[in-house]
Structure 1
Amino acid sequence: MVNRLPRTVRLEIQRQLEQAGLESARWESRVLVETVLELSGGQPFPETPLTPAQLERLETMTARRCAHEPLQYLCGTWEFFGLPFAVGLGVLIPRQDTETLVETVLELRRETSSTRLLDLCSGSGCIPAAISAHLSGVTGDCVELSPQALPYLRRNLSRLAPDLQVVAGDVCSPPPELLQKQYDVITSNPPYLTAEDMTHLQPEVTHEPEQALFGGGDGLAFYRTLTPLWKPCLAEGGWLVYEAGMGQAESVLQILEENGFVRCRIVPDLAGIPRVILGAAAKKSWK
């Protein structure tokens, strides 16, 4: 690229992305230029030429995107529930599907003055941070095992949800002291891709951590382990709220019911796909 105006360079990038077979080349080219110029989405491009350093950065980012590295990693931040989250290699990218889980928790706790929250497999921290940003009095813990994801989790929570604590550990074999705590809500978007799913990943998804994707042969291993393990940590009447993959909701619902949860139900995402499964730890007054 030669020293040109942003709008001209964006067209060049768009052509390169199209040649690489990227379907959203027009939009993505704009996002790349906005990222380098540090513009908010939709702001008009300036009428001043890009600097040599900006052009060099754009060339590098464009080449990496043409190689199907995720756009989110190239940008370094990605929006989820209206909030900017730091993301990069080693952390699962926040997805719009997961906003349904956040909305479900907000509906459950909207009338409360405080919420003790536990988030399992926290990754970037998008779920607990979004909940904390939209509810008053949220405290609790976020558990993540990956040493690559933990820096992103700590950075995002320190900025967006400082009252939540990061726990470096395995959700399937947690520190005993954590199992002694009580929470009003436990949330999790655990790894849920099946063995078959893992053989048909989109090129971009192959850059994301397998540890955050693979949920065992049928994708349900984490639900089977986490549900009985963490149920004693729920306060009476507290809620366990999961995200699940396409076609898994009924099986996850059955796991909750088999473990004694009540008021179990499934919530569809914006595309109508059964996405969120929740159940309550029974109160003594509930039948």
Structure 2
Amino acid sequence: MSLRNKTIAEALREGKQRLRSAGKDAYAVEAELLLEKAVGLNRTALFLRGEEPLSAEAAMQYEGFLAERESGRPTQYILGTWEFMGLPFSVGEGVLIPRGDTEILVETILEKQQTEPLRTILDIGTGSGCIPVSLSHYGKFEYVLAVDISRKALGYATKNAAANHAEISFYESDLFQNVPAQWRGQLDAIVSNPPYIPKEDIAGLMTEVKDFEPINALDGGADGLDFYRAIVAEGRAWLKEGGWLFFEIGYDQGEALRTLLADFGYTEIGIRQDLAGLDRVAFGRYTGKKEGA
């Protein structure tokens, strides 16, 4: 059905119905966000001017947005930006969409910084840069480093750091491979939201995720723990004595991470839950003997 000659309010109702029929759980919010972008109005103006006619240009654009969403393309990619920790982040194909659950990871680090001298931190698999940008913005870090194996993701991360006035050193790197050697044994903390979906579970993910978001940001190997094992093991050589390791984890991975961290000499291990009471963050302090020492 064409949206031409509709009022803004009528177009919104039509958009909600279309996305609801397409099986989108958050159809009302998404229809509203897409219409805001199409007409260039914020939420308040959208409702105050609901009886005004929708321009032909806005109608065409909104129809296009709805068609993209019906096909499964994530709303965040259609909008081109998404909010994380109250900050705006550019997103698009090739970069993982920042999610609210990851804010718990950032909050955990900021809370730990209140009692621990965390001044240097490395983010592994930075994606959009939402973690290091937020830490730089809200924390008290002297040096923030971030790596990703994807050049495309680093493009978004660099853009987001500049937009949010965050000073971050980015490196194209497979885990620690291209981190400057000067940082070995010098980091107060390492953080990562690594790929943690078991390979066989990826096919069962929502279309928005499995068909649009980068697979290398999702696939955590047979049991979802491949990247945790690598970072936990190799991270010991990069942390200062007593340095901290922080992870976002899957809802059922808490005990596995607790065991993994303990096996590699980490202590003061903690598992933090999200608002739904599911495991979401794992952390520990490395106090074991340095490799090669």
CA-to-aligned-CA distance 1:67-110 (integer Å, 9 cap, x gap): 11111111111111111111111110111111110110010003
- Could you tell me how far apart the structure 1 residues matched to 2:180 and 2:117 are? 28
TM-score between both structures, scaled by the size of structure 1: 0.92
Work out whether 1:280 is the aligned partner of 2:282. no
SS class of match (1:204): helix
Query: Does the residue aligned with 1:89 lie in a helix, a strand or coil?
Result: coil
After TM superposition, the score normalised by the length of structure 2 is 0.90
Q: 1-side partners of 2:267 and 2:117: how far apart?
A: 24
Pick the aligned partner of 2:33 from 31, 34, 46.
31
Residues in 2 aligned to 1:145 and 1:180: alpha-carbon distance in whole angstroms: 19
Aligned residue for 2:178? 174
Q: Which residue of 2 aligns with 1:17?
A: 19
What is residue 76 of structure 2 aligned with on the other side?
72
Which residue identity does 1:166 align to in structure 2?
Answer: F
Residues 176-210 of structure 1, C-alpha deviation per residue, up to 9 Å, x if partnerless? 62653622121000000002211211111121100
Q: Is the 8 A contact 2:82 2:90 kept in 1?
A: yes
* Residue of structure 2 in register with 1:212 after alignment: 217
Q: 5+ unaligned residues in a row in structure 2: which ranges?
A: none
8 Å CA contact 1:113, 1:137 repeated in 2: no
Residues in 1 aligned to 2:278 and 2:239: alpha-carbon distance in whole angstroms: 27
User: Are 1:110 and 1:135, in contact at CA under 8 Å, matched by a contact in 2?
Assistant: no
Q: Does 1:61 align with 2:65?
A: yes
**One-letter amino acid matched to 2:91:** V
Is 1:143 matched with 2:147?
Answer: yes
Structure 1: unaligned runs, 5 residues or longer: none
CA distance, structure 1, for counterparts of residue 96 and residue 265 of structure 2: 31
Quote the Cα distance in structure 1 between the aligned partners of 2:254 and 2:94. Answer: 27
Change (3 A) 1:92 1:183: same
Amino acid at match of 1:15: Q
Residues 151 and 3 of structure 1: CA distance in aligned 2, closer, same or farther (over 3 Å)? farther
- Per mean C-alpha deviation after superposition, the further-off stretch among 35-44 and 238-247 is 35-44
Aligned-residue identity in percent: 38
**Residue in 1 that maps onto 2:120:** 116
Q: Of 163, 177, 184, which residue of structure 2 is paired with 1:159?
A: 163
Question: Using the alignment, how far apart are the partners of 2:189 and 2:38 within structure 1?
Answer: 39
Alignment deviations for residues 95-142 of structure 1 (CA, whole Å, 9 cap, x no partner): 111111011001000357862110000001111111221113442211
Which segments of structure 1 move beyond 6 Å, counting only runs of 4 or more?
none
Picking from 202, 205, 223, the partner of 1:201 is 205
1:141 and 1:42 mapped to 2: Cα distance?
39
Specify the code of the residue in structure 2 equivalent to 1:280.
R
Q: Deviations over 1:228-266 (max 9, x none)?
A: 112221122221000111211111121111111111111
Structure 2: distance between partners of 1:227 and 1:131:
21
Within a 5 Å distance, the mapping from 1:195-274 to structure 2 comes to: 195-206=199-210, 207-274=212-279
Bigger drift between 214-223 and 105-114 goes to: 105-114
Partner in structure 2 of residue 126 of structure 1? 130
Residue aligned with 1:235, SS: strand
The alpha-carbon distance between structure 1 residues 11 and 221, as it changes in their structure 2 partners (threshold 3 A), is: same
